[in-house]
Amino acid sequence: MPAAPRSKPLKRPTQARGKFTVQAIYDAFVRIWTAHGWEGVTTRAVALETGIAVGTLYDYFPDKEALLSGYVRHCVEALLARIDAEVIALTDLAWRERVQRLVRLTCDAQLEGLPAFDHEMLMLEHRVAEPKHHRRVYDELAARWMQAFAACEDLQPPPSPTTIHALLTAAWGGRRYRLLVQPLNDDRDDWVGEMQAMVMARLLAR
């Protein structure tokens, strides 16, 4: 018997007002999640917290699984936008600084200014994400990493695509696995620093 289709947002906002409304919905979703967990998240509670009519919320999200799906995608798009703005678009960065920024953005799950995404959200991701969605995220990140290294004109010779993909897999895979297992006595900054050092060592060893 085929699996039931996963819930997903009904539409993406294109106008400024719609984008503002959806951002407010996501903010309310995170506040309720933080205070009451997944069981406390209902469409009614999110609408009340946001200050909008339930019908307005339903224009975008038919149920809370669709809201989770939209929020997960929102987290990915926010990360991609930060990489674009802070790593790829800047023309005056030395390659070492560019690469260190790239690794920190990719590895740090609690980076200031990015939407919250924690262990509990990861545990529910299977409800809304299919293998094709994971592949899409990986491909988008891989494209950003390729662009970031292409911008490192002072890094010669440039690393091969195989090396870039291996480094991305280590960074992104490590981030997600750490969210899964929640290491005891964890120091996130130390781990990110070690990942930066590992990437730099590989690039300098060529």
pLDDT tier, 1 (very low <50, low <70, confident <90, very high otherwise): very low
Cα dist from 206 to 23, 95, 132, 158, 162, whole Å: 44, 15, 34, 10, 13
Residue-range domains of the chain with CATH = 71-204 (1.10.357)
Kindly give, in sequence order, each residue whose CB lies less than 8 Å from that of residue 30, ignoring residues fewer than 6 positions away: 71, 115, 116
pLDDT digits 0-9 by tens, 43-101: 999 999 999 999 999 999 999 999 999 999 999 999 999 999 999 999 999 999 999 99
Tell me the pLDDT of the chain averaged across its residues. 95
Is the per-residue pLDDT at 3 higher than 70?
no
The Cα 71–Cα 141 span in angstroms is: 18
Cα dist from 137 to 127, 131, 132, 162, whole Å: 16, 10, 9, 18
Judge contact between 74 and 27, C-beta under 8 A: no
Kindly give, in sequence order, each residue whose CB lies less than 8 Å from that of residue 141, ignoring residues fewer than 6 positions away: 80, 106, 168, 172
Structural tokens at position 113: 């200014």
Output the pLDDT for position 22.
97
Is the per-residue pLDDT at 2 higher than 50?
no
pTM: 0.93
Structural tokens at position 136: 């899409």
